[in-house]
Amino acid sequence: MPVSLSFQQVDVFAERPLQGNALAVVSNADALTDEQMAAFARWTNLSETTFLLRPTSPDADYRVRIFTPRRELPFAGHPTLGSCHVWLDNGGLPQGKEVVQECGAGLVRIRRDGARLAFAAPPLMRSGKVDDATLKQIATGLGISLESVLDSNWVDNGPGWVAVLLSSREEVLAIRPDYPALNGLNVGVVAPWNDVGAEADVEVRAFMGDEYAEDPVTGSLNASLAQWLVAGGKLPQRYVSSQGTVIGRRGRVHIEEIDGDIWVGGEVQRCVAGEVWF
């Protein structure tokens, strides 16, 4: 027998609807199979689709599974905030002062920050120096010179991120990626705005080499960039990231370091609500 489940599509890291990164969220999805979840994620064709489930950890308030059209992810940023928003909108009540989400990467803490939600960045699965061959592959895939790369680092917290730091926002916005040359690498690019009184401090772009697509606004990448660059003294403890400019979005990600934790925040807008049949 077909079953209907509550469904929302929300816009994450958006101060107004249709400016951020869309996320499909299916609630009470415990009865769905892996194949049904994967098929629905392929059908929505969004960067991610999530499924809210009962937690398996006594410390968690809910569990989430995160799917792209091609694979399941252990963690991703905009699905974390969007899923939490829907869970709260459905009447979810956290056990403590913070919401605790269970996902493939473990437990993720989420707090309410005025109109925003913010998650504590999980530990990096991989960090450190980028080897010369990989850095050359990145430069070729992005169409930039090796000399323009001020710094680089592995910043993987689940999706496989490797990142480069450039000197200006204009350089970031000018990139036209060659996905075959990236050969599956998921590459983040960041640079300062360099404008006094600007509405954001850095520009970020996320190139999903395994998906052949640019992600509109990326919580996981912004989280790991902050862990790398704030710790290294190259970015302040509090700043605002702009993302999605080239593809017609106006994402805003709020970064803050508190007691050694990097918090990644943004607003979530509800765009579609109803039910979906499986």
Instruction: Cite the active site residues.
Output: 48
Q: How many residues does the chain have?
A: 278
Beta carbons of 75 and 52 less than 8 angstroms apart: no
Q: Give the tokens for residue 134.
A: 């990989």
Q: Is 275 helix (H, G, I), strand (E, B) or coil?
A: strand
Q: Which of 16, 88, 83 is nearest to 252 (CA)?
A: 16
Residue 197, C-beta contacts closer than 8 angstroms, at least 6 positions apart = none
Beta carbons of 163 and 221 less than 8 angstroms apart: yes
What secondary structure does DSSP assign to 162-199, as a single string?
EEEE-S-HHHHHH----HHHHTT-EEEEEEE---TT-S
